[in-house]
Structures are given as C-alpha cells and as structure tokens.
Structure 1
Amino acid sequence: MGTYNGISAAELGDIAWQKSRRSNSIGNCVEMAKLSDGSIAMRNSRFPEGPALIYTQGEIDALILGAKDGDFDNLLG
C-alpha cells in the first residue's frame, strides 16, 4: 500500500527519527525521518506511535529554507 499522510509512525518500520537540538525535556518537539523512497516523515514526539505526515523532499526544503529566512518568525512564542 505504501506510505500516506496519517499512517501510523509504527508502520514505517525501523527508521532513524531525528529531532531538533532545541527540543526540550518535556517532549515538545517534532521528529523527522527520511524514508527509503526519498520522502520525509514527520511525527509528534509525544505520540511516537501516532500518525505521521509524509512530505516530499521539495516540501521539506521549502519549509526549512523558509524558516531559515525568517518566514515563520511571527509564529515564535
């Protein structure tokens, strides 16, 4: 069936989840992992078995580069 948005993160198998060094000790972070087909999965670290969203490499590039450029600074707490 392949991957799809909302797939259980557990169904993605043994992948290397990565989180920001800026995440805090109470688990307020998002984790991301590169999948074998080149897409990127994202999950909430507080619910590691929960749903994962799947993005293309281009979508993740746009997000990360936009964040670096300050495009989302208005969302900072």
Structure 2
Amino acid sequence: MEFSNGMRAGALGPVTWTKSKRSNATGNCVELAVLPGDRIAVRNSRDPQGPALIYTRDEIAAFVAGARDGDFDTVLD
C-alpha cells in the first residue's frame, strides 16, 4: 500500500494508534501509528476518520528531539 499525506486515517488499514497520556477529556491530542515502510502517521484524535499526515521515522525523531529540547516552546506563548 502506498501512503500519502491527507489520506483518510481509516484507509491506512489495521494500524494501532497511540494517544498521549497527557490527552484531556475534550480530545485535544494527536495520535500516532507506525506504518509499514518506516513511516509514521499522525491524526487528530477528535477526527479519527479524518486525514492523516505521514512522516518518516527520522522526521518524527527530529521533531520529538526538538520538542524535548524546547525548540517549539515559543508556539505556546
């Protein structure tokens, strides 16, 4: 299967979505799923059948490392 950005999350097939433990009761969180071919899908937990963004493992690793380092803290100011 070929994956593309914006495809419906439901069309990704049988994947396991992981939600942050920091998610709140109103669903303000994103979920990630590991896909074949070293790809990772990201979807909005409030719209589980909506579009998914597809990234490489390296792209997600760089984002997570940047978040840990505080590189994106200014977007919440």
Match of 1:39 in 2: 39
Aligned AA (2:8): S
Q: 5+ unaligned residues in a row in structure 1: which ranges?
A: none
Q: 5+ unaligned residues in a row in structure 2: which ranges?
A: none
Tell me by how many angstroms 1:60 deviates: 0.2
**Residues in 1 aligned to 2:33 and 2:17: alpha-carbon distance in whole angstroms:** 5
Tell me by how many angstroms 1:74 deviates: 1.1
**Residues in 1 aligned to 2:38 and 2:18: alpha-carbon distance in whole angstroms:** 15
Aligned AA (2:23): S
Pairing 1:56–2:56 present? yes
TM-score (norm 1): 0.94
TM-score (norm 2): 0.94
Q: State the percentage of identical aligned residues.
A: 57
Tell me by how many angstroms 1:62 deviates: 0.6
**Residues in 2 aligned to 1:32 and 1:69: alpha-carbon distance in whole angstroms:** 20
Match of 2:22 in 1: 22
Name segments (4+ residues, structure 1) moved above 6 Å.
none
